[in-house]
Amino acid sequence: MPIFVILIIFSLSFYLYYKVKFYRSRKPYEKQWISSKSSIALGVFVLFFGLNQLFMYRSTVSLVIGIVFVIVGIGSCWAGYRAFKHYSPLAIKEASEKN
């Protein structure tokens, strides 16, 4: 399915964008906030890669690998979302105090 390929490329590009932004940032809470967004993007990448495996190939091995990738992707998205919610107010407070 070509839609999964497009979504995989977009999520990988967002992951790389956030990683570059992470290394360029100097504020500690902002770095953690950006890291949580990159974790979400990496989780989405793994999730879509696993879904692509499930739909494209019909062997038992690819089915198991696809299911594992989907579970790991959902877990990474969930952990990144929780970190994003935790660090978001701290990053906003840090940005307003340093000005």
For the segment 8-30, what is each residue's pLDDT rounded down to a tens digit? 999 999 999 999 999 999 999 99
Would you say 52 and 67 are in contact if contact means Cβ atoms under 8 Å apart? no
Please compute, for residue 51, the number of CA atoms within 13 A of its CA located in the half-sphere on the CB side. 16
pLDDT digits (tens, 9 = 90+) for 32-44: 999 999 999 999 9
Q: Please give the model's pTM, rounded to 2 decimal places.
A: 0.89
Question: Residues in the chain, how many?
Answer: 99
pLDDT digits (tens, 9 = 90+) for 64-97: 999 999 999 999 999 999 999 999 999 999 889 8
pLDDT digits (tens, 9 = 90+) for 35-69: 999 999 999 999 999 999 988 888 899 999 999 99
